[in-house]
């Protein structure tokens, strides 16, 4: 953020409204989504104790587990609208050039043609190109940092708190949903 402010003060590329917008984006994208990845990922592991036990037994699986947690139930539910560049038919649906399309990341990441047994959490799954961070020109710039943060968080949690467990019944966990993201209000744990 300091570099963005310095650029703005030098009068180069960002005016004040662009600077505020960029800082807001960095705070949201760089904090909230990663926090949601860690909390939601932990919840998914509590819901799948055999996967949690496997991960505890082999922390070298953490990077693979993070990718699977992002695919299985990552923090982003959808991405901004896209517009058809040409007329086409998709799954029997006619789409006209210029039509607005909403990409539902959650649905795409459960595509059975792309991921076998896609409704199952498998921390050993070799995930190739899930859409949790977008794709192409819409790829999240913070994806490499989020992956590292996830790796560090889960490795540290499981190293330091090997008896980590949910301290309330799973049905009492409160979720927060919006059109583009999801997360937990809180995640009460014991260790």
Tell me what pLDDT residue 162 has. 94
pLDDT, mean over the chain: 89
Q: What is the pLDDT of residues 8-33, one digit of tens each?
A: 677 667 777 877 887 877 777 677 78
**Architecture of the structural domain at 2-190:** Orthogonal Bundle (1.10)
pLDDT of 16: 77
Give the residue among 79, 69, 28 at the shortest CA–CA distance from 46: 69
Per-residue pLDDT at 117 exceeds 80: yes
Q: Quote the pLDDT of residue 175.
A: 94
Q: What's the CA gap between 190 and 43, in Å, rounded?
A: 13
Name residue 94's beta-bridge partners. 89
Average pLDDT of span 56-75: 96
Quick check: 133 pLDDT over 90? no
**Average pLDDT of the residues in 82-104:** 93
Q: Is pLDDT of 84 > 90?
A: yes
Separation of alpha carbons 27 and 166, rounded Å:
28
- Cβ contacts of residue 164 below 8 Å, gap of 6+? 42, 157, 158, 189, 190, 191
Determine the length of the chain: 191
Q: Where are the domains of the chain?
A: 2-190
pLDDT at 8: 66
């Amino acid at each position: 953020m300091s570099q963005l402010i310095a650029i703005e003060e030098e009068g180069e590329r960002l005016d004040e409204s662009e600077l505020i917008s960029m800082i807001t984006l960095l705070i949201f994208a760089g904090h909230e989504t990663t926090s949601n990845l860690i909390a939601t990922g932990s919840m998914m592991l509590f819901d799948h104790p055999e996967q949690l036990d496997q991960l505890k037994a082999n922390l070298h699986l953490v990077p693979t587990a993070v990718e699977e947690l992002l695919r299985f139930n990552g923090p982003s539910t959808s991405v901004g609208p896209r517009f058809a560049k040409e007329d086409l038919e998709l799954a029997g649906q006619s789409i006209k050039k210029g039509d607005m399309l909403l990409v539902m990341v959650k649905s795409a990441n459960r595509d059975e043609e792309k991921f076998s047994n896609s409704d199952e959490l498998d921390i050993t799954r070799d995930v190739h190109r899930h859409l949790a961070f977008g794709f192409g020109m819409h790829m999240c710039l913070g994806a490499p940092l989020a992956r590292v943060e996830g790796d560090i968080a889960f490795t540290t949690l499981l190293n330091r708190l090997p008896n980590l467990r949910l301290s309330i019944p799973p049905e009492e966990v409160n979720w927060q949903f919006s059109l583009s993201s999801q997360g937990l209000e809180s995640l009460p744990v014991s260790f």
